[in-house]
Amino acid sequence: MANSTAATPGKSLATPGPAGRLSPEGSQVLSKKKLQDLVREIDPNEQLDEDVEEMLLQIADDFIESVVTAACQLARHRKSNTLEVKDVQLHLERQWNMWIPGFGSDEIRPYKKACTTEAHKQRMALIRKTTKK
């Protein structure tokens, strides 16, 4: 087993943090201060309401919990007791179309060109025809 701690769904390694949120070792992944700093980076004059901050923190916690749960299920499917980056990476790629910067797989991903339907081709031809006049 590697040096990382294996997490399994149903067994929380977290301790209750402020506002009853679970967080590993008492520190949150996203705190109100970090959220406010992020908002200030986007717009220095913007201020979030207390309810909005709570909702965004809850959404972030729910997202992290769902990703970790799914990644643990993938690790279990591999018959492993250790949660690895590739488990999280696979779930994020398949379910959320997200990639982890710095942890790219060795394969080269081709650019996915959106396929055009026949109806779209006809509309574009009509647009080109009308703009030429």
Phi and psi at residue 72, in whole multiples of 5°?
-65, -40
26: alpha, beta or left? (left if phi > 0; alpha if psi -120 to 50): left
Is there a domain that residue 115 lies in? Answer: no
Residue 122 resides in a domain: no
The confidence score (pLDDT) of residue 107 equals 59
Give yes or no for residue 13 having a pLDDT over 50. Answer: no
- Rounded to the nearest integer, the mean pLDDT of the chain is 79
The average pLDDT across 101-121 equals 73
Q: Which of 56, 2, 1 is nearest to 29 (CA)?
A: 56
Q: What CATH number is given to the structural domain containing 67?
A: 1.10.20.10
Count of domains forming the chain: 1
pLDDT value of position 115:
79
- Check whether 65 has a pLDDT greater than 90: yes
Residue 116 covered by a domain: no
Residues facing 23 on adjacent strands? 15
Strand-pair partners of 14: 24
Interatomic CA distance for residues 42 and 121, integer angstroms: 39
Q: Is residue 75 part of a domain?
A: yes
Q: Does the pLDDT of residue 41 top 70, yes or no?
A: yes
Predicted TM-score (pTM) of the model is 0.57
Three-state DSSP class for 16?
strand
CA–CA distance, 86 with 75 (Å, rounded to integer): 9
Task: Provide the pLDDT for residue 103.
Answer: 72
Q: The domain containing residue 94 runs over which residues?
A: 1-103
Beta bridge partners of 24: 14
Let me know if residue 18 belongs to a domain: yes
Residue 44 lies in a domain: yes
